[in-house]
Chains A and B, each alone.
Chain A
Amino acid sequence: MKTIAVIFGGQSTEHDVSIVTALASVIKPLELTKKFHVEPVYIAKDGSWYWDKKLKDIKFYQSGEIEDYVKKAAKTHILFDNGLTLVKSSQFAGRKQYKKIDLVFPAMHGTHGEDGELMGILEMANVPYVGCNVPSSVIAMDKILAKQVTESAKIPSTPWTWFYSDELAHGSDKILKRINSLKYPLFVKPAHLGSSIGITRVTAKDQLMNALEVASHYDDKVIVEQGVENLVEATLPIMGNENPVPALLEEPLLKSEDFFDFETKYMQGGKKGTGKNAGAKASGSQGYSRIPADLPKDLYKAAEELGLNVYKSTGCRGIARVDMLVDTKAKKVMFNEINPLPGGLYAHNWNKAGISNVELVSKLIDYAEEAWQKKQKLATAFSTNYLKQF
Chain B
Amino acid sequence: MQLVVDSLLTNYQKQGSGKKVIIMIHGWADKLQTFDELTSDLAKKYTVYRMDLPGFGQTQAPNEPWGLDEYVMFIDEFNKKLKINHVHAYIGHSNGCAVLVRGFSNNKIKSDKLILLAAAGIRNKNKLKKLGIKAIAKTGKAATFWVPRDQKQKLQKKLYGTVGSDMLVAPHLKETFKKTVMQDVQSDAARILADTLIIYGMKDSATPNEFGDIYHNLIKNSKLVKVDDAGHMLHHHQPEKTAKIVEDFL
Contact = CB atoms under 8 A, between A and B. Distances in A.
Interface of A: 68, 71, 198, 200, 206, 210, 213-214, 216-218
Contacts of A71: 149
A214 B3 contact: yes
A157 to B, nearest CB: 25
Nearest to B153: A68
Interface in B106-128: none
Contacts of A206: 83
A218 B4 CA distance: 11
A216 B2 CA distance: 12
Contacts, number: 20
Contact of A214 (B4, B83, B149, B150): B4
**Main DSSP-derived SS at the A contact region:** helix
B111 to A, nearest CB: 22
Given A198-B2, A210-B4, A217 B83 contact: no
A217 B81 contact: no
B102 to A, nearest CB: 26
20 contacts: A68-B150, A71-B149, A198-B2, A200-B1, A200-B2, A206-B83, A210-B3, A210-B4, A210-B81, A210-B82, A213-B3, A213-B4, A214-B2, A214-B3, A214-B4, A214-B9, A216-B4, A217-B4, A217-B9, A218-B9
Contacts of A68: 150
Contacts of B1: 200
Nearest to B2: A214
Interface in B149-164: 149-150
Contacts of A200: 1-2
A69 to B, nearest CB: 12
A173 to B, nearest CB: 19
Contacts of A214: 2-4, 9
A163 to B, nearest CB: 16
Contacts of B150: 68
A12 to B, nearest CB: 16
Contacts of A216: 4
Interface residues of B, number: 10
Q: Which 3 A-B pairs have the closest CB atoms?
A: A213-B4, A214-B2, A217-B4
A68 B149 CA distance: 10
Between B1, B2, B149, B150, the greatest number of chain A beta carbons within 10 A of the residue's beta carbon is seen for B2
B241 to A, nearest CB: 30
Nearest to B82: A210
A198 B4 CA distance: 11
Contacts of B149: 71
Contacts of B82: 210
Given A200-B1, A200-B2, A210-B82, 17 more contacts: A68-B150, A71-B149, A198-B2, A206-B83, A210-B3, A210-B4, A210-B81, A213-B3, A213-B4, A214-B2, A214-B3, A214-B4, A214-B9, A216-B4, A217-B4, A217-B9, A218-B9
Nearest to B83: A206
Nearest to A213: B4
A9 B83 CA distance: 39
A217 B10 CA distance: 11
A213 B2 CA distance: 10
A213 B82 CA distance: 13
A285 to B, nearest CB: 23
Nearest to B81: A210
Nearest to A198: B2
Interface in B128-162: 149-150
B239 to A, nearest CB: 23
A217 B81 CA distance: 15
Contacts of A198: 2
A310 to B, nearest CB: 29
Contacts of B83: 206
Interface string B148-182: 01100000000000000000000000000000000
A264 to B, nearest CB: 13
A198 B58 CA distance: 12
Contacts of A218: 9
A218 B3 CA distance: 12
A206 B150 CA distance: 52
Nearest to B60: A217
A317 to B, nearest CB: 35
B1 to A, nearest CB: 8
Nearest to A218: B9
A352 to B, nearest CB: 34
Nearest to B4: A213
B181 to A, nearest CB: 26
A218 B8 CA distance: 11
A71 B4 CA distance: 32
Interface in B1-52: 1-4, 9
Interface in B72-107: 81-83
A206 B2 CA distance: 15
Nearest to B1: A200
Contacts of A210: 3-4, 81-82
B54 to A, nearest CB: 14
B43 to A, nearest CB: 15
A217 B83 CA distance: 20
Contacts of B81: 210
A370 to B, nearest CB: 43
A198 B11 CA distance: 11
